[in-house]
Amino acid sequence: MEFSPKWIAWEITRRCNLRCVHCRSSSEREITGHPDFSLEEGYRIIDDIATYAQPVVVLSGGEPLVRKDVFHIARYGTDKGLRMCLATNGTLVTEDICEKIKESGIRIVSLSLDGSNEGVHDDFRSQKGAFAGTIRAAELFKKHHIEFIINSSFTKRNQEEIQKVYRLSKELGATAWYMFMIVPTGRGEEIMKELISKEDYEEILDWHYDMEKNEDVMLVRPTCAPHYYRVILQKSKQEDEKFIRRSLKFSTGGAKGCIAGQLICLIDVDENVLPCSYFPKAAGNLKDNSFKEIWENSNLFSELRDFKNYKGKCGSCEYIRVCGGCRARAYSVYGDYLEEEPFCGHTPVKTRLAQKQNIKSKQ
């Protein structure tokens, strides 16, 4: 597997007009200790990245639209040949914002939608009117011919909404729908007890597989759910190989589940380079080292790329190279990013054989 940066999430601010229950960065309207970097520093970071690679760069937050210079950053990245995108909760989108999105060269925008109605979505986002804002943003994007995708995050409090949110995303005209199974980092640690169970997790992934295979769907992908690629391969033994190849081809990183620090990373507002948006451990800082040096030489990234390091069920699993388990979730639950995926219901073949041998030896 070639480890080159294909996709970078860039937290350009930690400020946000909402206070979502699952927020990985614990964003607030005003944040102390994590100030926005200057526009000039933003340009320097873009130059640093562009001299090494040409990844997709997603301007994120917090809420990136609270920065008055967000479109200057986007335009500069576009002019440097980077594929610039924007991740927003949608509530601040206006006609004027849409014009600026197009002028800045932003390729695609992601919107957040966590419920099929205002009661569910607004509860998740801790703000009355958030649902209406997202729907209005989707309508404005369609009007201005701006391509958008929808990201939806799920816990026990809204897991019954999954199919409804998928259908609503299609109705709104989204290009793609990404189903996020949340990783409890940041404010999300406060809802650890709301994580979807292993059993329900498997049922949801089975539903997603059947939906993707049998319906006329837009691009859909479970995110932070690397075991979906194990599910795909398990089902390929009985089902359509053509669908299997298509499904793997259009994953974020080719044909592998967790690609944190392998094909993707996050640059936070303090200029730390982290394996992904939900993995609060830095591989290095852009104030001290170049992006290239961090990407190629950090110990953290090296460990994540060496699958022989993985422990528990993941370490012995026959699907290690196609799934890998969520490293951020292992870190959040166990404090060890090399531990097994805590929400996977699969028992590896090696483990089953060892269990049988143990039973025989006791007879």
Which tens digit of pLDDT belongs to each residue from 156-189?
A: 989 999 999 999 999 999 999 999 988 877 676 6
> Can you give the pLDDT at residue 218?
86
The predicted pLDDT at position 118 comes to 96
91-148 pLDDT tens trace? 999 999 999 999 999 999 999 999 999 999 999 888 899 999 999 999 999 999 999 9
Q: Give every residue of the chain whose pLDDT is below 70, as ranges.
A: 1, 22, 24-29, 186, 188-189, 238-255, 354-363
CA-CA-CA-CA dihedral for 164, 168, 171, 172, to nearest 10: -170
Helix segments in 51-197, DSSP class H: 70-79, 95-103, 118-125, 130-143, 162-172
Nearest to 48 by CA among 3, 107, 86, 8: 8
Range 94-131 burial, b when 16+ CB lie within 10 A, else e: eeebbebbeebbbbbbbbbbbbbebebbbbbbebeebb
Model confidence pTM above 0.85:
yes
Q: Around 113, how many Cα atoms within 13 Å sit in the side-chain half-sphere?
A: 30
pLDDT at 249: 52
E strands of the chain, at which residues?
A: 7-11, 56-60, 83-88, 108-112, 148-154, 176-181, 219-223, 264-267, 272-274, 284-285
What integer pLDDT is reported at residue 252 of this predicted model?
A: 47
At residue 247, the pLDDT reads 56
